[in-house]
Amino acid sequence: MSEATVVVVSWNGRHLLPACLDALLPQRPAAVWVVDNGSVDGTADWLATAYPSVRVLRSPTNLGFAGGNNLALREVATEFAVLLNNDAVPRPGWLAALLAGFDAPEVAAVASKVLLPDGTINSIGGRVDRDGYGHDIGLRATDDGSYDVAADVLVAPGTACALRTAALHDVGGFDDDYFLYYEDVDLCWRLRLAGWRVRTAPAAVVDHLHSATTGTVSDLHAFHDTRNRLLTLTKDATAGLALREVLRFPLTTASIAVHEDRHRARVRMRAYASYLRLLPRTLRKRRRIGATAKVSRADVQRLVGRV
């Protein structure tokens, strides 16, 4: 039986899959699953012919990154579940190095070193700053060895990471409400609250065509990135941090409307309205997380801005 199941979620990404799968399949034995996330480019039928060893899970609609991964993760029976973007190409030895990062039983997630097309770093783990914004560690830094010592971090970015299946079951996997963005921040924050650790594996390297599917400057990105940051803080942060950021959000948005960009402000307000609709459900989730937490929100939050 395979030690790990690698899950690749793809939405109209047939053109990206050959490079990803051709680099992945020769690596140490693992089951490889592709979630065809409501694609209309013939991905599923093409995979059945071109990559018959790959299991294809079809979703009739686009469930986003969170829902698409959950579709597979609920079925994973191997000790580890590995997530890989369809626009990421693992280097030789990536999977073995990634799984070697589980060097202690309390390690729940391990982050790859992710490189951009120009060879600079995309991420080597993630952090959250004191205002609750998520950031890639090492972004745009030269890959000169400065980040080549494994370390504890707050977030294992979903671009290319491994998760202990037991830990996923412990905290309930990704939050389907997120669709895109911050779902990895939320998951790892909940893992930390549950007493698990998150580590980096610098020898596990992938090359990433950043945001090949959604783009980085789009209303889709801005909406979900904005809303999901507020959802994450409401669920996982101390009450002080969550309230401060939620209450000052309309004031910041008004300032943006007056002094910067009215379109951007409108997108932010749509995101805020969606957040408010989800607020009752999110507060129930917060109570459940708090009831089972093994580490206090304040203790986890001491990592904010530091790792």
Please check the confidence at residue 211 and state whether its pLDDT lies above 70.
no
pTM reported for the whole predicted model:
0.95
Please give the pLDDT value at position 303: 75
Q: Does domain 4-208 have CATH number 3.30.70.20?
A: no
What does the mean pLDDT of the chain come to? 94
Please check the confidence at residue 214 and state whether its pLDDT lies above 90.
no
Q: What does the domain layout of the chain look like in residue ranges?
A: 4-208, 219-301
- For 246, list phi and psi in degrees, rounded to 5: -70, -40
Please give the pLDDT value at position 29: 76
User: In whole angstroms, what separates CA 290 from the centre of its chain?
Assistant: 22
Please check the confidence at residue 307 and state whether its pLDDT lies above 60.
no
Collapsed DSSP state (helix, strand, coil) of residue 147: coil
Please give the pLDDT value at position 217: 62
Number of other CB atoms surrounding residue 171 within 10 Å: 20
* Tokens 């899950």 sit on residue: 7
pLDDT in tens, 148-178: 999 999 999 999 999 999 999 999 999 999 9
Cα separation of 174 and 200, whole Å? Answer: 20
Please give the pLDDT value at position 241: 95
User: Which segments of the chain are extended strands (E)?
Assistant: 4-10, 31-37, 55-59, 80-84, 88-90, 107-115, 121-123, 126-128, 134-136, 160-164, 197-208
Please give the pLDDT value at position 305: 53
pLDDT in tens, 12-50: 999 999 999 999 999 987 899 999 999 999 999 999 999
Number of other CB atoms surrounding residue 16 within 10 Å: 20
Closest CA to 169 of 187, 147, 155: 187
Amino acid identity of 21? L
User: In whole angstroms, what separates CA 228 from the centre of its chain?
Assistant: 12
Please give the pLDDT value at position 1: 45
Please give the pLDDT value at position 47: 97
